[in-house]
Amino acid sequence: MHNILDTLAKKTTEHEYYTPVPEGYVRGKTKYVVVFGTVMSGLGKGIFSSCLAKLLQDKGLVCEPIKFDGYLNQDAGTLNPYRHGEVFVLDDGTETDMDLGTYERMQNKNLSADNYLTGGRVFAKVLAKERKGEYLGRDVQIIPHITGEIKGFIRTTAVKKKADVVLIEVGGTVGDFENSYFIEAMRELAYEEGKENVCFVCMTYIMEPATLGEQKSKAAQLGLRGLLASGIQPDIVACRAERKVGDKIREKISLFSNVPVEHVVSVPDMESIYFIPDTLKESALDDLCVSVLCLEKKVDKKDEQQATKEWQDFVQKLRGARKKITIGITGKYTVLRDAYASVMKALEHAAAYNNVQVQIKWIETTDIEKGKLSVEEAMADVVGVIVPGGFGSRGAEGKIQCIRYLRENNIPYLGLCYGFQLALVEFARDVCGMKEANTTENDPKTKFPVIDYLPEQMKIVGLGGNMRLGGYNAELKKGTKVWELYGKKETVRERHRHRYEANPVFLQQLEEKGIIFSGKCGDLIEYLELPPHPFFVGTQSHPEFTSRPLSPNPLYVGFVRAAVDTKRLR
C-alpha cells in the first residue's frame, strides 16, 4: 500500500488530506485495536476493552488505552452522576468517564489526559486553530479536519507513550449521530496505516427473550451491518449475552459479518468483572489480536506467565472468601450504583486482601432527614460505614446523624472528601459545643464555618477553577493510624476533587477535644483520625481512585480489617 503519511500533514489546498503527524511517528511501529459497540449501550464495552488491554499488556506489550466520548462537554466534570455515573479523576487532574478507572485498575497504572478524548475537546481544538488561521484558508469540515485531529491525537499518544499497541474504545453505539465522526476517523486510520496495523473488534448483544427461551441474533446482525455500512470490516466479534453464546449463533454471526467463526467469541455475564480476563483468555481473544496485528515476535511468554500467576492469585482470593461482612455506604445517589463505582471496587480489592466478602448496604440519607428511616435502623446490621464524596446540602444532615452514631458506638468509619468535611462538622457541633457549625457550602452564613473556601480560592473564577483536582502529596504525622496504614511512609499521594477545606481558624479547638490531624498538604489538612475509636478516619482525598486489584488502597484495607474485627467483637 502507498504510504500517504508523507503527505498527510500538508496543509495546502493541493491535497484533500489533513492529519497532524507528530515528529518521530513511524507507520507500523504502533499497532491499533479499535473496539466498537452495537445494538445497545450498557454492554460493558469499557470493562471488556480494559480486560483486553490487560491481556495484551500481560504479554509484555506496551498497551496504551484511549477512550472516545462523543458528547460536546470538554471533560466529564460537569456531568450529573444520574446521567453518566461516577466522575473519575486522573492524577493529572483530568475529569473523565468512569471507564478510565476500569482501565487503571485492570492495567495497574496511571493514565493521563492523553488517554481521554471528547467531542468537545476535538471541536474546541479545531475552532481554535481556525481562528488562528492555521488551516491556510481552507474550508474547515468534519472531514478531513475533525477526523484528522482525532487521528493526530491517537498518533501523538502513541509516540509519547512509546506504545506497541494503542487500544481505542469508541464510546456509544454504532448508529449514534454523535460518535459518527469518531467511527469515520477509525475507518480513515485503517486506510492510512494499512489493515495489517489495525484490528477492529465489534462488541454486540445476543438477545434471549424470556418468552422464547432461546438466543436470537437478528439485532446483532443488524448492528453489525451498521458497522459494515460505515466502511469498517470487523476482524473479531465479541458476543455479550446472559449466558454462553451457542455455536449456531456464532455461525450466524460469522456468516452475516464476514468474520471467521473462530473469531466470533462469547462473553457471558460474570459474577465479577475480575473473572472476565480468564474468560477472554479461554476464548484466545488476546492471541487473535496478536495474530491479526502480526505481533507474535513481541510477545514475552515469561512476562505473560508471571502476570497470569499474579492475577490468578487475586482471583482465587475473590473466589475463596467465605466470611461475609456488611458495609454501609451513605449517599444521595444510592439508586444509581455507578455513582460510587470506585468505592465499590476499592472495597472489593480490600475484601480479597482480608479474605472476606463485602456486602453493601445502601443508606439513603435523605430518608433519615425526612424521618422515614431512623439511624438505629440504618445501622442495625452494618459493621462499618463509608460516607463518600459528594456536593450540596441534600442528604448532608442525614449523613451527620450517621457519623455521630458511628463515633459514639465505636463502629468503623471511613469519611471520603465530603465525609471528611462532615465528620469535622459533626465533631464541632456535638463535642466542641459549636451547635451551629457547618460547611459554608451548605450554610454560607454559619457562625462556625469549620469547612470553608480559603482566601486564596476566592480569587479563582470560572467553573471548576477553584476546585482542587488530581494528585497531591501529603506529609503524614509519625505514630498515627494513617501513618501506620500507609506502611509508615512520610509522604503519600492521593487524588482530590473538592472545593472546600478545613478552616485553620478552628483546628486548635478541634485538636484540644481529641481529633488528630494526621496528614497535611502544605497548610491544608488531608487526614483526620479519632483515638481511641477502633477506626475513625477521614481524608480530603479519594483514595478509591488509586486502589487496584493487585495493590489495594491502604485506607480501605485497614477499614475492612477493622470491620472484620468489629464483627468478631459482636
Q: How far is CA 301 from CA 199, 318, 376, 403, in A?
A: 22, 26, 55, 51
C-alpha cell at 278: 480468564
Contact 552, 350 (CB under 8 A): yes
Mean predicted confidence (pLDDT) in 379-387: 95
Q: How many CB atoms sit inside 10 A of residue 294's CB?
A: 12
* CATH 3.40.50.300 residue window(s) in the chain: 30-313
Helix (H, G, I), strand (E, B) or coil at 130: helix
Q: What is the pLDDT of residues 530-552, one digit of tens each?
A: 999 999 999 999 999 999 999 99
| Alpha-helical segments (H) within 361-505 | 365-369, 375-379, 396-408, 418-430, 455-458, 481-485
Residue 381 is given by DSSP the state T
**By mean pLDDT, which of 289-293, 297-301, 388-392 is the weakest?**
388-392
Kindly state the helix (H) or strand (E) to which residue 268 belongs, with its residue range. Answer: strand 264-268
Beta bridge partners, 364, equal 331
> Percent of the chain beyond pLDDT 90?
80
Q: What is the pLDDT of residue 336?
A: 63
How many of the other CB atoms lie within 10 Å of CB of 486? 23
In this predicted structure, the answer to whether residue 335 has a pLDDT above a threshold of 50 is yes
| Three-class HEC string of 196-238 | HHEEEEEEEECECCCCCCCCECHHHHHHHHHHHHCCCCCCEEE
Q: Is the pLDDT of residue 560 over 70?
A: yes
Residue 43: predicted pLDDT: 87
177, 181, 187, 191: CA torsion to nearest 10: 160
Q: 134, 87 in Cβ contact below 8 A?
A: no
* Residues facing 68 on adjacent strands: 117, 170
Average pLDDT, integer, range 236-262: 95
- State the amino acid at position 17 in one-letter form: Y
Looking at the chain, the whole-number percentage of residues with pLDDT higher than 70 is 93
Pair type for strands 524-529 and 516-521: antiparallel
- pLDDT (tens digit per residue) in 127-184: 999 999 888 778 899 999 999 999 999 999 999 999 999 999 999 999 888 899 999 9
Q: What are the start and end residues of each CATH 3.40.50.880 domain in the chain? A: 321-569
Q: How many CB atoms lie within 10 A of CB 131?
A: 8
- Residue pair 255/237 in contact by the 8 Å Cβ criterion: no
Distance CA 53, CA 30 (A): 14
Assess whether pLDDT exceeds 80 at residue 16.
no
Write down the CATH number for the domain with range 30-313.
3.40.50.300
Question: Which 3 state secondary structure label does DSSP give 239?
Answer: strand
In this predicted model, what pLDDT tens digit does every residue of 386-422 receive, in sequence order?
999 887 778 899 999 999 999 999 999 999 999 999 9
- According to the model, what pLDDT value does residue 503 have? 94
Q: What is the pTM of this model?
A: 0.93
The sign of the torsion formed by the CA atoms of 275, 110, 93, 419 equals positive
Q: How far is CA 429 from CA 306, 340, 410, 437, 499, in A?
A: 53, 28, 18, 6, 22
Q: CA-to-CA distance for 180 and 122, rounded, in angstroms?
A: 13
pLDDT at 42: 82
| Residues involved in catalysis | 417, 542, 544
Q: Which three cell numbers mark 503?
A: 478552616
Contact yes or no for 33/293 (Cβ under 8 A): yes
Q: What is the pLDDT, as a whole number, of residue 395?
A: 84
Q: Please give the CATH topology (third level) of the domain spanning 321-569.
A: Rossmann fold (3.40.50)
Output the CA angle 242-247-249, nearest 5 degrees.
65
